Amino acid sequence: DGGITQSPKYLFRKEGQNVTLSCEQNLNHDAMYWYRQDPGQGLRLIYYSQIVNDFQKGDIAEGYSVSREKKESFPLTVTSAQKNPTAFYLCASSRTGEYGYTFGSGTRLTVV
């Protein structure tokens, strides 16, 4: 079955450390997205990509970086510059246009 896979499910980061969250899809979707979800808030867009080798900053891109070298993959790196990284991170993909998203199961990142 087609879907979108995020790993790991749980991730712990020490102060000053960079960590990378994985996102892979086999839906043949062109567009991919990274969102951050905090309690009581709507999903906030970090980065999105509409095509391979191209990506755009979302509303809260500071302290994050991404790459899109393959259509299937859109990894997110949370750098040490992100001062409040503890959150639930969601990756999504969609066909280009006015279509709903398919989400992964999320990665919960905690700073220790």
Partner 1 sequence: EDQVTQSPEALRLQEGESSSLNCSYTVSGLRGLFWYRQDPGKGPEFLFTLYSAGEEKEKERLKATLTKKESFLHITAPKPEDSATYLCAVQAGGFKTIFGAGTRLFVKA
Question: Any contact of residue 92 with partner 1 (CB under 8 A)?
Answer: yes
How many residues interact with partner 1 (rule CB under 8 A)? 23
CA distance linking residue 51 with residue 38, whole number of Å:
28
CA distances from 82 to 27, 64, 73, 74, 76 (A): 31, 7, 22, 19, 12
Sign of CA dihedral 46, 50, 51, 55: negative
Closest separation in Å from C-beta 59 to partner 1: 9
Are 111 and 13 in contact, with CB atoms under 8 Å apart? yes
Residue list 28-87, contact with partner 1 (CB under 8 A): 35, 40-45, 48, 50, 56
DSSP secondary-structure letter at 41?
Answer: S
Instruction: Choose the binding region for partner 1 from 13-21, 65-73, 78-86, 93-101 (rule: CB under 8 A).
Output: 93-101
Minimum CB–partner distance for residue 50 and partner 1 (Å)? 7
Contact residues: partner 1, CB under 8 A:
6, 35, 40-45, 48, 50, 56, 90, 92, 98-106, 108
